[in-house]
Structure formats: C-alpha cells, structure tokens
C-alpha cells in the first residue's frame, strides 16, 4: 500500500495505483518521476533487498538514501544486559562499564535507531518494513527498494 504520510486518511492499494498508472502510460509518454529522499524503516531480520541496496551508486545519484534499523537500540540493550549478576548494584556497574566500552559502530547503530524511531513517529509510520519517499508517501511491507520506487513512481504518475 502507498500512504500519504501527511494525511493519515489517504490509503491507496498498490494494485489500484498500478491499474491507474497503466492508463496514464497508454495515454501518453509518462514523465519520469524519482524521489529526492528515500528512508527505509526496517529491522535487522528484514534487510533491504533487490538490485538497489544501501551501497548502490545508482540510487545515491538519484536520491538521498537512509536505512533505519529500528531494532538497533533493543539489540544493544540485549547485549548490555547479557549475563548480569543478580546483585542490582553490581549489575549497574557492569552495565555502565559495558556501555562505556561500546564501539563507535554500536553507538552509531543506537543513534540511528533512535533517529529512525523519531522519524517514523513524525511520519506516522505505524508498521514496518516501510519505505518513505520525500516525507510524503510510504510503501509498507516491501524491502525491495526497486519495487517500492516503482510503486512510488506509479503513484506520482497517477496524481499528475
């Protein structure tokens, strides 16, 4: 489904958008529409897929691209809490020590997850995986960025 993230009442089933796009394509040559900003909200268990991935030069030439793994904080907390002693004071010291020893990569993962959660709330994203385009449209249930972009482009063509 594609959902306009600014208007919570606008939901368009993907198949309807594709049918409408087919009519536009037959009526004349459609204008190429590409998003400027692509934000992927997912988890480590549902990584993005397809030919266009996080390191794809082609996507980065067309759009600013961000991936937010929403489970980053939870995974870090689970690692910090693993095998703690039963004594609360001792556990507190161990967790503090572990937190201070976090790698820059782990800290960055936690920060990106927190930023992703905040952005998801800002956009009204209420499930994942979700791919948000230009802060105005969201495709749910898709981790293949190429497929999501195709849905977005069809939706934009239908609206022109």
Using DSSP's 3-state secondary structure scheme, residue 66 falls into strand
Query: Looking at residue 45, what is its pLDDT?
Result: 87
Architecture of domain 2-71+115-159: 3-Layer(aba) Sandwich (3.40)
By C-alpha distance, which of 128, 65, 67 is closest to 138?
128
Domain locations along the chain: 2-71+115-159
**Residue 113 has which token pair?**
């997850």
pTM: 0.68
Tens-level pLDDT at each residue, the chain (160 residues): 555 554 443 444 443 333 344 444 445 555 566 788 999 999 888 888 865 544 455 555 677 888 899 888 888 888 888 999 999 999 999 989 988 998 998 888 889 999 999 999 999 999 989 999 999 899 999 989 889 988 988 888 887 5
Beta strand 37-42 pairing with 130-133: antiparallel
**How is residue 8 annotated by DSSP?**
T
């Amino acid at each position: 489904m594609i959902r306009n993230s600014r208007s919570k009442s606008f939901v368009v089933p993907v198949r309807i958008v594709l049918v409408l796009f087919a009519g536009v394509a037959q009526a004349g040559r459609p204008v190429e529409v590409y998003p400027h900003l692509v934000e992927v909200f997912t988890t480590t268990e549902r990584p993005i897929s397809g030919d266009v991935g996080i390191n794809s030069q082609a996507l980065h030439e067309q759009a600013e691209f961000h991936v937010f793994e929403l489970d980053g904080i939870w995974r870090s907390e689970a690692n910090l809490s693993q095998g703690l002693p039963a004594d609360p004071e001792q556990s507190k010291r161990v967790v503090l020590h572990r937190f201070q020893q976090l790698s820059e990569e782990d800290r960055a993962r936690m920060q990106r997850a927190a930023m992703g959660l905040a952005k998801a709330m800002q956009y009204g994203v209420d499930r994942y995986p979700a791919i948000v385009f230009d802060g105005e449209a969201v495709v749910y249930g898709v981790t293949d960025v190429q497929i999501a972009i195709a849905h977005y482009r069809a939706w934009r063509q239908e609206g022109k």
